[in-house]
Amino acid sequence: MVDVNALHKYGTLAEYNHTPAIGAQAVNAVETSAITRFGSDECFQIDKIEIFPPVDVAPFPIENILVELIIDNASVDCLFLDSRMATPYAIGTPPYKPSCQLFGDRKSVDPLENFCLKGSTSLQIRTMGLLGGVAATSSYFIRVSGDWFKTDDALVSHFGVPVFNPEPVTVLDQVRDRRVTVHRPLPINLDNWTKLSGGNWRSGKPRVTPWINFARNRLATTPSTEYALDITPGNVQYAWESMHWELDNKTYIINDYVGVWPDETGQHLRTAWWEYGNVEYPQPFIPPTRWDTRFNFNELPLGMPAHSGILSFHGPRPVDRKLLGTNEIMEARILDDGVAVNPNRLDCVLFAQWSRRIEF
Alpha-carbon distances, residue 123 vs 5, 26, 31, 168, 220 (angstroms): 23, 24, 14, 31, 38
- For residue 56, being part of any structural domain is answered with yes
Q: Same domain, yes or no, for 265 and 319?
A: yes
- For residue 14, being part of any structural domain is answered with yes
At 140-155, the pLDDT tens digits run: 999 999 999 999 999 9
Q: Same domain, yes or no, for 328 and 346?
A: yes
Given this model, what pLDDT does residue 285 score?
58
Q: Name the strand (E) or helix (H) holding 154.
A: helix 152-159
Inter-residue contact 351 to 272 (CB < 8 Å): yes
Q: Same domain, yes or no, for 192 and 321?
A: no
Q: Same domain, yes or no, for 283 and 330?
A: yes
Q: Same domain, yes or no, for 85 and 106?
A: yes
Q: Same domain, yes or no, for 199 and 266?
A: no
How far apart CA 196 and CA 193 sit, in angstroms, is 6
Question: By residue range, what is the domain housing residue 77?
Answer: 4-167+181-209
Domain count, the chain: 2
Given this model, what pLDDT does residue 311 score?
52
Q: Same domain, yes or no, for 282 and 196?
A: no
Alpha-carbon distances, residue 215 vs 6, 77, 101, 169 (angstroms): 43, 15, 20, 31
- For residue 176, being part of any structural domain is answered with no
Given this model, what pLDDT does residue 102 score?
74
Alpha-carbon distances, residue 75 vs 41, 160, 340 (angstroms): 22, 31, 36
Residue 142 burial by CB count (10 A; 0-12/13-18/19+): exposed, middle or buried?
Answer: buried
Q: Same domain, yes or no, for 90 and 37?
A: yes
Given this model, what pLDDT does residue 289 score?
74
- For residue 172, being part of any structural domain is answered with no
Given this model, what pLDDT does residue 321 score?
78
Listed in sequence order, the residues at least 6 apart from 310 whose beta carbon sits closer than 8 Å to its beta carbon are 261, 262, 264, 295, 296, 298, 301
The series of mean pLDDT values per 10 residues for the chain, 360 residues long, is 71 96 96 97 94 74 91 96 83 56 88 96 97 91 96 96 97 90 97 96 94 97 97 96 96 93 92 91 71 88 63 74 92 97 92 95
Q: Same domain, yes or no, for 188 and 257?
A: no
Q: Same domain, yes or no, for 193 and 266?
A: no
How far apart CA 280 and CA 175 sit, in angstroms, is 12
Given this model, what pLDDT does residue 59 score?
53
- For residue 173, being part of any structural domain is answered with no
Q: What is the pTM of this model?
A: 0.93
